Amino acid sequence: MMKTVWRIHDVLQKEAVLQKFSSCYTIGRGSANTLWIRGLASKPSSSSKPAAWPHVFTLFADRRSPADSLVNQDMREKVSHLKDELLAYSGDAEMFEKILADKGVSLFSRYADGSAVVELLQQLKSSPGLAVQAFDWRRRQLDCWSPMTVEEYSKAIVMAGRLKNIDLAAKLFKEASNKRLKSTSLYNALMTAYMINGLAVKCQSVFRDLKREATCTPTIVTYNILISVFGRLMLIDHMAATLREINDLGICPNVGTYNYLIAGYITAWMWDDVEKTYRIMKAGSIKPDLTTHLLMLRGYAHSGKLENMEEMYELVKGHVDRYGIPLIRSMICAYSKSSDVNKVQKIEELMRLIPKDDYRPWLNVILICLYAKEDLLDQMENSINEAFSCNTSVTTVGVMHCIISSYFRNNAVDKLANFVSRAECAGWKICRSLYHCKMVMYSSQKRLIEMEKVLSEMDKVNLDFSKKTLWILLKAYKTWGERDKLHQVLGIMCRHGYGIPING
């Protein structure tokens, strides 16, 4: 359904544009004002899946990386030692600044181009708060004798965006601009900060400012950021407009361009476009990289294409420990919904790759339902016990019915009774089916006294008996020849207007 809604542009036209990109044709510069579309949402879409998107720092993939020289290697190692010490005192602001004063000053002064500071911010990217703290110290203490560089500001702006501190990002951009440090990378950084937070309108506004700047020109990185923000919000028509503008300007795409296109199509569940873009990459000069393969793995998992998913997994499984745990969970979901005869075995093999402390309640519930449907009672109960121990609450009737059905098929009434008791205490979804199933199973074993006690249990949880409750009692008493009780139930049914069964 979503695929139909978002397919605004003709498929053949998009493919033709992409084919031009793959050949990297140079086309005469056309109008640069074709992109603007009004009324964009300024908040992230609830359908956005951040894990499906390439890492934000790959947006700057076309920037020149430092030569792999002994000097740069030595600098990175020294920065790494400084980073480790800073992380050790992350909760002590005074010691944090003391370490920077004792060891940072000499290190940063050796690299007046700001490369050591940029490297430190990069190595602290998993702790953006500390990165911003280190940058702020550098700005306050050292700017007077070692002026800030545009690269330092750019990296700090991105970190502020990762910290969701949009005001700080904008403040740093303005500060750098006032120092006449304006450059394309500075604009790209602010656009990235807005992109991370789903602020499409502000991102587009910065892009307009960049195009008006006499000394700066948008690069493929700039357009990649636009594609990314539009893709996250499933604004596929805006992605197409961006592609056309890249083509009109004769700018050659890079692997990041294709990766963000694929990510956008995955978010919008446009599987044909995902496949088409991937085929164009394989056939063209810009080949798929690890990020592309990870994206395709997620796409195949979400679309339920198990054969393609397994083939792609073979390409990336060596990187699972570092990149792929969310993808492993996606694969487990894909298998759980499939009719694969070996899905339980495959899921259990994948589960062994997930660290023990990486618990996800929703994944736990998926396993409960999987084992329940396969009538693997022991495995189901192990997953239920894990849910109880992790204070996971099941609140959907469908999952409870799945569990009940497994107990019923296995004729495990005592285990069902224990489960119902624990579910009541843990705040799980309580429904009549839990108690009706117990009554039927007690009746089948001629445990009528225990069957009758279930009525009291229902009363304790404020569940009144229903017509079905009386029917279960009626059938039980008729089966085991309890005529007096049978007549009592018939009387209750009449009083409540349920009528007397024909075979009563």
Separation between Cα atoms, residue 241 and residue 36, nearest integer Å: 9
Please state the length of the chain: 504
What is the pLDDT at residue 69? 66
What is the pLDDT at residue 70? 75
What is the pLDDT at residue 56? 52
Give the orientation angle of helix 467-479 with respect to helix 432-444, to 10 degrees.
0
What is the pLDDT at residue 47? 38
Any domain includes 300: no
Any domain includes 56: no
Separation between Cα atoms, residue 86 and residue 101, nearest integer Å: 11
Any domain includes 359: no
Burial 267-300 (b: 16+ CB within 10 A, else e): bbbbbebbbbbbebbeebebebbebbbbbbbbbb
Any domain includes 175: no
Burial 134-172 (b: 16+ CB within 10 A, else e): bbebbbebbeeebebbbbbbbbbbbbbbbbebbebbbeb
pLDDT tens, N- to C-terminus, the chain (504 residues): 333 333 333 433 444 444 445 444 333 333 333 333 333 333 333 333 444 556 554 544 444 444 446 778 889 999 999 999 999 988 888 999 999 998 888 888 888 888 999 999 999 998 999 999 999 999 888 766 788 899 999 999 999 999 999 999 999 999 999 999 999 999 999 999 999 998 999 999 999 999 999 889 999 999 999 999 999 999 999 999 999 999 999 999 999 999 999 999 999 999 999 999 999 999 999 999 999 999 999 999 999 999 999 999 999 988 876 777 899 999 999 999 999 999 999 999 999 999 888 999 999 999 999 999 999 999 999 999 999 999 999 999 999 999 999 999 999 999 999 999 999 999 999 999 999 999 999 999 999 999 999 999 999 999 998 999 999 999 999 999 999 999 999 988 888 888 776 555
Which tokens is 472 given?
């279960």
Which tokens is 340 given?
């694969």
Domain count, the chain: 1
- The dihedral built from the CA positions of residue 168, 174, 179 and 181, taken in this order, carries a sign that is positive
Separation between Cα atoms, residue 196 and residue 219, nearest integer Å: 19
Any domain includes 454: yes
For residue 431, the surrounding DSSP H or E stretch is: none
Any domain includes 447: yes
Separation between Cα atoms, residue 218 and residue 232, nearest integer Å: 21
Any domain includes 460: yes
SS3 annotation, 352-369: CCCCCCCCCHHHHHHHHH
What is the pLDDT at residue 230? 94
- Between the CA of residue 93 and those of 88, 137, 331, what are the distances in Å? 11, 11, 42
The domain of 446 spans 435-504
What is the pLDDT at residue 226? 95
Any domain includes 474: yes
**Cα angle 469, 475, 481; round to 5:** 135
Rg (CA), the chain: 31
Give the pTM: 0.78
